């Protein structure tokens, strides 16, 4: 399937709560989402199940060579970096066993850098709550390449380290609260996306 839009999300400490809130409020035909959440490998499968239970998108653990399509969210597995490559008309997830980056594998920076230069794809990259600097460099590279970039604000972040680093580097075009995050992501794709109602958390 031709994929022209993509959301990439990086998160660490406190990120699972944010991801639950976000996926609970996105429409079922939202652009495909790729997620790096710093967590222990044995927590990935329960996280996938939980995220799939709260929203209307299909949530899966990323697999090597899997095709991305609207309405699906892919979570990076433990111990493997997650990158995205274009193969013909499709975007596919690729798992890489490279060295840890800033002590992380998967690394948000590795994911974000893989998206720089993807042809004919609208990219929205989001850096959420977490400790450290992972993702800030990649978010800046994406902004310089013309992508829409978002950092979570201080007030709604459990740990403001990762988004703070990105904001200080000038990597974030937008700074968003948790409550506004679904609307902000869809707005980055233009008015057509905003015509799809966002599901409230109480629904």
Is 21 considered catalytic here? no
Catalytic entry in 81, 104, 114, 134: 134
pLDDT tens track for 167-202: 999 999 999 999 999 999 999 998 765 544 444 333
Order the strands of the 58-61 sheet from edge to edge.
Answer: 58-61, 72-75, 33-37, 5-11, 122-127, 148-152, 174-176
Share of the chain above pLDDT 70, in %: 93
Is 176 considered catalytic here? no
Which of 2-6, 32-36, 37-41, 179-183 bottoms out in mean pLDDT, i.e. has the lowest? 2-6
Is 134 considered catalytic here? yes
Domain ranges, ordered by start, for the chain:
5-190
Q: What average pLDDT does the segment 60-75 reach? A: 97
Per the confidence metrics, is the pTM higher than 0.85?
Answer: yes
The fold of 5-190 is Rossmann fold (3.40.50)
Task: Look up residue 41 and give its DSSP letter.
Answer: G
Q: How confident is the model at residue 102 (pLDDT cuts 50, 70, 90)?
A: confident
Beta bridge partners, 60, equal 74
Q: Count CB atoms within 10 A of the CB of residue 150.
A: 26
Catalytic entry in 38, 104, 156, 157: 38
- The confidence score (pLDDT) of residue 192 equals 62
- The confidence score (pLDDT) of residue 199 equals 41
Token match 């660490």: residue? 12
């Amino acid at each position: 399937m031709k994929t022209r839009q993509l959301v990439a999300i990086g998160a660490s400490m406190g990120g699972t709560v944010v991801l639950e809130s976000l996926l609970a409020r996105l429409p079922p035909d939202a652009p495909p989402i790729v997620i790096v959440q710093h967590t222990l490998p044995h927590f990935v499968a329960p996280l996938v199940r939980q995220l799939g239970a709260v929203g209307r998108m299909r949530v899966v653990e990323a697999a090597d060579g899997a095709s991305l399509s609207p309405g699906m969210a892919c979570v990076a597995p433990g111990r493997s970096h997650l990158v995205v490559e274009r193969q013909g008309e499709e975007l596919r997830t690729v798992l890489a066993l490279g060295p840890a980056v800033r002590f992380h594998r998967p690394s948000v920076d590795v994911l974000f850098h893989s998206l720089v230069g993807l042809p004919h794809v609208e990219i929205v990259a989001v850096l959420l709550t977490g400790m450290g600097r992972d993702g800030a460099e990649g978010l800046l590279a994406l902004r310089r390449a013309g992508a829409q970039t978002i950092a979570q604000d201080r007030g709604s972040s459990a740990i403001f380290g990762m988004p703070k680093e990105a904001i200080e580097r000038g990597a974030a075009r937008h700074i968003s609260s948790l409550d506004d995050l679904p609307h902000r992501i869809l707005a980055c794709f233009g008015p057509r996306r905003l015509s799809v109602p966002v599901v409230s958390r109480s629904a």
